[in-house]
Amino acid sequence: MKSDVTLSNKKIELIQWLSTIEDVSILNKIMELRKKESKDWWNSISENEKKSIEAGLNDAENGKLNDHSQARKLYEKWL
């Protein structure tokens, strides 16, 4: 719990600091850092996961979908 509080405090401190910055070059550097740190989850999943997602998207595009009630019947033991 303490680390959550510490993390929250750090975020608040950064937000407060950011709100006072007037130097555009510093803001641009922070924006560049943000872009570099943003990770696309697609690049972090396995090839099998990618294939599974692509197959699901393909099924959806081709109308191969089950309605909600049918899905609940199939997966009710996990719900």
Do residue 47 and residue 74 come from a single domain? yes
Rounded Cα gap, residues 36 and 32, in angstroms: 6
pLDDT of residue 1: 57
Nearest to 18 by CA among 6, 2, 30, 36: 30
Q: Which domain holds residue 60?
A: 41-78
| Position 73 confidence tier, pLDDT thresholds 50, 70, 90 | confident
Q: Domain check: are 33 and 48 in the same one?
A: no
For the four alpha carbons of 60, 62, 68 and 74, in that order, the dihedral sign comes to negative
Check residues 40 and 76 and name the one with the higher pLDDT.
76
Provide the whole-model pTM: 0.42
Q: Are residues 49 and 29 in the same domain?
A: no
**How many domains, in total, are found in the chain?**
2
**Cα 11 from Cα 35, distance rounded (Å):** 18
- Give pLDDT tens digits for 10-63: 999 999 999 999 999 999 999 988 887 777 788 888 999 999 999 999 998 898
More confident residue, 66 or 38: 66
